[in-house]
Amino acid sequence: MRKKNLAATLMPQRSLHKAVFFNRDGTIIYNGKQHYIYRTEDVVLNEGVVEGLRQLQQAGYLLFIVTNQGGIAKGIYTHEDVKKVHDYLRHSLTEKGITITEIYYCPHHESIKTCVCRKPSPYMIHLAVEDFQIDRNASYLIGNNLRDIKAAEAAGIKSIKIHKNQSILPAVNKIIGPPRKRINMNLDESEF
């Protein structure tokens, strides 16, 4: 007969959460002619973002954004500019009933100085996994850049690559399946 580890028996089990990580610019936010998005007036959501995020949230996924913001290291914009964009983005989505659990960003750029956090490093994903008890086996990253996909693979989560500014809905459907048709169950006797 095997002896049970008493400490393991008495310790409460932490439940793990499933999550979807997103690149910001080109996946969530439309990234047209401008290379960097650091002003709130430049924040335009890509087609399908609101519906896709809502479907994932309703399916029980925590939602995260992991983004490289190398314009900070280059002196093009500041941490405060990024905070304003992220606050604006969160507020806009909250008004639509969507909660972004956390936004992680790397302020560095390899042309200035190397770091541990810039994608394709999995560092930001690892932080979220630890901070929010994420189940890697039940989690995904949706991104429009090869750096995103490499970060997901290095973090041990599944990845779905989309084209820049493409709707996230096809990727969401790969994760949770296509939306089901709704059936009206409010039948009264006059319908029989």
Q: What is the DSSP string of 105-171?
A: EE---TTT---SSSTTSSHHHHHHHHHHTB-GGG-EEEESSHHHHHHHHHHT-EEEE--TT--SHHH
What does the alpha-carbon distance between residue 121 and residue 150 come to, in Å, rounded to a whole number?
8
Percent with pLDDT over 90 in the chain: 82
Token pair for 172: 């969401």
Checking if the pLDDT of 4 tops 50, the result is no
pLDDT for the residue 33: 81
**91 assigned ligand-binding residue:** no
35: nearest Cα among 65, 66, 77, 64: 77
**148 assigned ligand-binding residue:** no
**25 assigned ligand-binding residue:** yes
**115 assigned ligand-binding residue:** yes
**108 assigned ligand-binding residue:** yes
Count CA within 13 A, CB hemisphere, residue 98: 20
Q: Which pLDDT band holds residue 147 (cuts at 50, 70, 90)?
A: very high
| Domain definitions of the chain by residue range | 15-191
Q: Looking at the domain covering 15-191, what would its CATH class be?
A: alpha beta
Percent with pLDDT over 70 in the chain: 85
Q: Which pLDDT band holds residue 15 (cuts at 50, 70, 90)?
A: confident
Question: Which tens digit of pLDDT belongs to each residue from 71-129?
Answer: 999 999 999 999 999 999 999 999 999 999 999 999 999 999 899 999 999 999 999 99
Q: Which pLDDT band holds residue 35 (cuts at 50, 70, 90)?
A: confident
Mean pLDDT across 161-165: 97
